[in-house]
């Protein structure tokens, strides 16, 4: 679709937290937090003329490569949250986008995301085939206290589970949706850590895509400094999640 007459380089959208998005304690699930952040980014790209539908004319899509989220507190059922977003960098096939979540004017979440342009036919990265110079960039306006870090996967690992990719794991790019990786890992954690909001921040690295019927293994790194999960296929790492606990 063409660029909206209401387009602005900084964008915000309100969302009401509903019961399908909440944990048993009434707080927003961490996975649905990620979904809301990404849906806001998608809404901004849509009014800016670089949405999934626009890019599919060239067999392209944005895919998430890295994500860092810092959490002060989670919103609750019926809360109205405001998600704000802007772009730090955008060049050729790569972009860093910032996002923040507010409740009643108070910032509760900061997020930094790293995106790449992906050809959905060749399954490879390539430059964006749409104009984007109308987006003003804000490289100095950071949403998080820290930027991405390299997740250390060299420590000894503990086997946690095996999974096979099923249809409900896939998204419209025909690979495992990025939030599914996190869901698989969180399901293996001590539930009290999740329900008591002990996750202060987390980072995700998406390294290789997974497809229908792929068989994967989930490991937990034996590391005292942070909680790290990795997902591998045929001994090749596809995903890494680092959780920093309070």
Whole-angstrom distance between the N-terminal and C-terminal Cα of the chain?
A: 44
d(CA 238, CA 26): 32
Q: What is the pLDDT of residues 63-101, one digit of tens each?
A: 999 999 999 999 999 999 999 999 999 999 999 999 999
Q: How many residues does the chain have?
A: 246
Run of H or E including 151: none
pLDDT 10s per residue in the chain (246 long)? 689 999 999 999 999 999 999 999 999 999 999 999 999 999 999 999 999 999 999 999 999 999 999 999 999 999 999 999 999 999 999 999 999 999 999 999 999 999 999 999 999 999 999 999 999 999 999 999 999 988 989 888 999 999 999 999 999 999 999 999 999 999 999 999 999 999 999 999 999 999 999 999 999 997 767 899 999 999 999 999 999 998
Run of H or E including 36: helix 30-47
d(CA 88, CA 72): 22
Spatial CA neighbour of 113 closest among 47, 151, 65, 154: 65
The pLDDT, as a whole number, for residue 216 is 98
The pLDDT, as a whole number, for residue 2 is 82
Q: Does residue 4 come out as left (phi exceeding 0), alpha (psi in the -120 to 50 range) or beta?
A: beta
d(CA 231, CA 185): 9
The pLDDT, as a whole number, for residue 1 is 67
Sorted by where each starts, the structural domains of the chain and their CATH numbers stand as: 11-125 (3.10.129.10), 157-245 (3.10.129.10)
The pLDDT, as a whole number, for residue 147 is 96
């Amino acid at each position: 679709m063409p660029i909206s007459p209401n387009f602005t380089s900084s964008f915000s959208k309100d969302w009401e937290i509903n019961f399908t998005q909440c944990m048993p304690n009434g707080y927003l699930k961490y996975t649905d937090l990620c979904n809301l952040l990404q849906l806001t980014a998608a809404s901004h790209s849509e009014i800016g003329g670089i949405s999934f539908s626009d890019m599919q004319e060239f067999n392209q899509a944005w895919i998430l490569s890295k994500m860092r989220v810092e959490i002060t507190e989670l919103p609750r059922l019926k809360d109205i949250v405001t998600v704000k977003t802007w772009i730090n960098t955008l060049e050729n096939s790569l972009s860093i986008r910032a996002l923040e979540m507010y409740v009643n004017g108070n910032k509760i979440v900061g997020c930094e995301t790293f995106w790449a342009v992906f050809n959905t036919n060749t399954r490879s990265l390539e430059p964006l085939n749409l104009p984007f110079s109308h987006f003003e960039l804000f490289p100095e306006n950071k949403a998080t206290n820290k930027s991405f870090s390299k997740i250390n996967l060299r420590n000894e690992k503990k086997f946690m589970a095996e999974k096979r990719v099923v249809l409900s794991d896939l998204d419209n790019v025909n690979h495992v949706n990025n939030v599914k990786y996190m869901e698989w890992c969180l399901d293996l954690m001590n539930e009290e850590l999740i329900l008591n909001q002990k996750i202060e921040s987390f980072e995700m690295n998406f390294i290789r895509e997974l497809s229908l019927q792929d068989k994967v293994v989930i490991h937990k790194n034996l590391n005292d400094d942070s909680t790290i999960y990795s997902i591998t296929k045929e001994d090749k790492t596809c995903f890494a999640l680092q959780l920093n606990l309070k």
